[in-house]
Amino acid sequence: MSDPAISVAMSVYNGERFLSEAIDSVLAQTWRDFEFLILDDGSRDSSLEIIHRHAAVDSRIRIIARENRGLVASLNQVLGEARAPLVARMDADDICAPQRFERQIAFLAARPDHGVIGSLTADIDENGEAFPLDTAEQPLDHEQFLAHIESNGPLLAHPTVMYRRDVVLAAGGYHAAFRHCEDYDLWLRLAHRTRIANLPERLVRYRHYSGQVSNRHALEQQIGVAVSRLAYAERQAGRPDPTEHLDVLPPIEQFDELFGRKGAASEVCAHVARALLYSRSEMAGQGFDLLLAHVEEGGRGAELWRTAARLVRFGEPRRALKLITALAR
């Protein structure tokens, strides 16, 4: 049996709510030559049963079932077992447009210098209704991609991406230390290894809901994003990446030592504090402590005063007073 043109990589953990719709959207692709690797990461709901039900009627599905090890380990395992030269990422809660693979494989075939191609997204809520976002779009070409890195803009939506397997393996795959932002770290490591772009078509309906990783692990995710940006700057300066062989990131107060310079921890704190200003859960938790630390180190700005008003609306008047007091010093 010849190898397929594409390996579709999906990791599932307790994804029963949206899983069937996600799988069906992959199986309905106009490009038919693919294998569909679905790894069940120790789900405790009916996810594995749903996967088996779909596999019984479509032989392109290859099931990997094991105990829970987390998303990074799952992605690296699927990447290692993929038989195709191209890997298409897909999440268990999103929906592919039927022409997604056809458009992306044509793009990569015509541009051998590109190793990664994503697309714009149509953002939806948990009910499949439009979910308006007041954010910038992903960059359409590599030059815009590099500019977005510098401006801290959006880069790629992970479940929209198709990449060349050998390019990602050569970069070391997904790094365990960047749990919950493993994709962002990978894009930064690939930025000067290959060209990266997004198609202007909205080829994935990307779902936003309270249970998704970016909501449940916002603090850890933003710490990882900030550290990956520091590591990117080190590589750009021709210095070794101190995160390269880490399995976990150290506490924030150790980042000056990790990067060998004073101020690294403060930079991470500032990034995280400003990234979480609109997160109700984080402003009621550890995110607020980082915000106060940022203000005590000199952080100021109109958006911080507006955060105090937002804290009152969030039902956190004492925290609002603490923030106002810190800002007024």
The answer to whether 15 and 41 are in contact (CB under 8 A) is no
Residue 308: is its pLDDT beyond 80? yes
Domain boundaries of the chain, sorted by first residue: 6-210, 217-328
Q: Residue 36 and residue 284: Cα distance in Å, rounded?
A: 41
Among 64, 128, 72, smallest CA distance to 95 is for 128
Confidence band for 68, pLDDT divided at 50, 70 and 90: very high
Confidence band for 132, pLDDT divided at 50, 70 and 90: confident
Mean pLDDT of 83-92: 98
Mean pLDDT over the full length of the chain: 94
Confidence band for 292, pLDDT divided at 50, 70 and 90: confident
Give the per-residue pLDDT at 135.
83
CATH superfamily, region 6-210: Spore Coat Polysaccharide Biosynthesis Protein SpsA; Chain A (3.90.550.10)
More confidently predicted of 136 and 237: 237
The answer to whether 42 and 12 are in contact (CB under 8 A) is no
133 in the Ramachandran plot: left (φ > 0), alpha (ψ -120 to 50) or beta? beta
pTM, to two decimals: 0.92
Confidence band for 281, pLDDT divided at 50, 70 and 90: confident
> What six digits make up the tokens of 175?
């790094």
Residue 236: is its pLDDT beyond 70? yes
Amino acid at 325: T
